[in-house]
Amino acid sequence: MPDVGEGLTEAEILKWYVQPGDTVTDGQVVCEVETAKAAVELPIPYDGVVHELRFPEGTTVDVGEVIISVNVAPGAAAEQPQTAQPAAEEPAAKDAAGTGEPAQPTGRQPVLVGYGVAETSTKRRPRKGATAPAEQVAAGAAAQAAVQGELNGHTPAAPVAPAPAAPASRPLAKPPVRKLAKDLGVDLATVTPTGPDGIITREDVHAAVSLAAASVAAPAAVPVPQPAPRPEPQPEAAVAGGTRETRIPIKGVRKATAQAMIGSAFTAPHVTEFITVDVTRTMKLVEELKSDKDMAGLRVNPLLLVAKALLVAIKRNPEINASWDEAAQEIVLKHYVNLGIAAATPRGLIVPNIKDAHDKTLPELAASLGELVSTAREGKTTPAAMQGGTVTITNVGVFGVDTGTPILNPGESAILAVGAIKLQPWVHKGKVKPRQVTTLALSFDHRLVDGELGSKVLADIAAILEQPKRLITWA
């Protein structure tokens, strides 16, 4: 398992795209793995023939573990794959035994991504079962190989009954849909696609689950002694076959989010302040910008101006853009703003950020926001895009709620929650009129942000949204 960076120590194998005996080329994607922060496709850095898949899909593997071996020797295609081993502990011995794997060099070497683990890395605790007797290892390996073949849709070597022909190509589906199908135990090859160009959608996966549940419940509704099924027992069978609880393994993004939120909530003393503001002028400006030629082709929405307002407020109050270094007992002032945007995705909550957002013009900021959102929805956000944030915006208003008390992203000093923009009665120029109003909430780390500073920042954001011309006068 390669080191995909950002301090990650393990990853789960979501999907194998090859099987033993397949020919691969340098740079070809062989599997998809999920870290605590993103789903990543891993390429192979060799030309040759796949010799062995060390772990089945769904296995969480430590960084540094060998997950695949490739025979790069001439005539490798004619050789028979050897028995799989549970862990790659003696690569030199395997090479001497004639498996065809290249000998391991003494220094760091290129792997699927980067250059692997340094020689001085801490040795990991051996996995359970690694010292099992040779007979158990061989039997387990054979069973694993058989299961692996079935998981990848390959026909066993000696099938009892004729197996269906393998599909010509892999079913078309986006990574979040593949993850959903895997969690629900659905084989995408059996799903009928309804999306454009034959792409399988989330609805197709749920429909396949419903169809499978119906097919399971139907036989149970037929009494065995009777020659024909009776309709009366069907409700009882549905109840008996129903599931009142579903247990979902805590892993991937959900596990990382839980750990981060617990760490933040019980480390940084949170303070949340609220303000309700008339944003009617801001909404008018949004409509004007949509027809501006400089914003042509860009997504213009209230979030764009909220983000710009926050950046101006930070410029006026730079002490808010900081972090707490517990080890050094220092407050680290950031002279740059990496603006995080909380995004709800099928894989869970992620917070990618716009690097150096403080230096961007309004069109550049709009372009960066559009790219960030589309990448997150497609499940292609990289781990690097979620690192180094300084402040964050969470737009809970898209769900129709007024506001919330957001928890800080670890390592950051503040997070702004934006509520729904609603038409409400408001006193404007001495008269009660219908105005577009929203509520803002700013949570900050009270260790390094005093109430005065937090209040100034929130008041500045509200003032800009109430009178957006301050984007010019204050910037």
Structure tokens at 50: 């796949």
Burial classification of residue 125, based on how many CB atoms lie within 10 Å of its CB (0-12 exposed, 13-18 middle, 19 or more buried): exposed
Q: What are phi and psi of 15, to 5 degrees?
A: -155, 135
Q: 75: alpha, beta or left, given left = phi > 0 and alpha = psi -120 to 50? A: left
Alpha helices in 97-192 (DSSP H): 134-151, 175-184
Backbone angles phi, psi at 416, to 5 degrees: -105, 125
Structure tokens at 83: 């028995």
CA distance 214 to 34: 32
Q: Measuring CA to CA, which residue among 223, 153, 218 is closest to residue 188?
A: 153
Angular region, 388: left φ>0, alpha ψ -120 to 50, beta rest:
left
Annotation marks residue 446 as catalytic: yes
Nearest residue to 470 (alpha-carbon basis) of 460, 455, 459: 460
Residue with tokens 């069907």: 234
Distance from C-alpha of 237 to C-alpha of 221, rounded to nearest angstrom: 5
CB atoms within 10 A of CB 377: 15
User: Which residue in 154, 206, 270, 446 is the catalytic one?
Assistant: 446
Q: Closest by alpha carbon to 475, among 364, 323, 360, 341?
A: 360
Max intra-chain CA distance, the chain:
90
Q: Which among 131, 79, 129, 124 is positioned nearest to 100, based on CA atoms?
A: 79
Task: Give the SS3 label for residue 344.
Answer: strand
Report the distance separating Cα 119 and Cα 236, nearest Å: 62
User: What are the backbone dihedrals phi and psi of residue 381, each rounded to the nearest 5 degrees, phi first?
Assistant: -65, 130
Q: Which amino acid is at 236?
A: E
Q: Are 188 and 209 in contact (CB under 8 A)?
A: no
Distance of alpha carbon 5 from its chain centroid, rounded? 15
1 by DSSP, 3-state: which?
coil
Residues assigned a catalytic role: 446
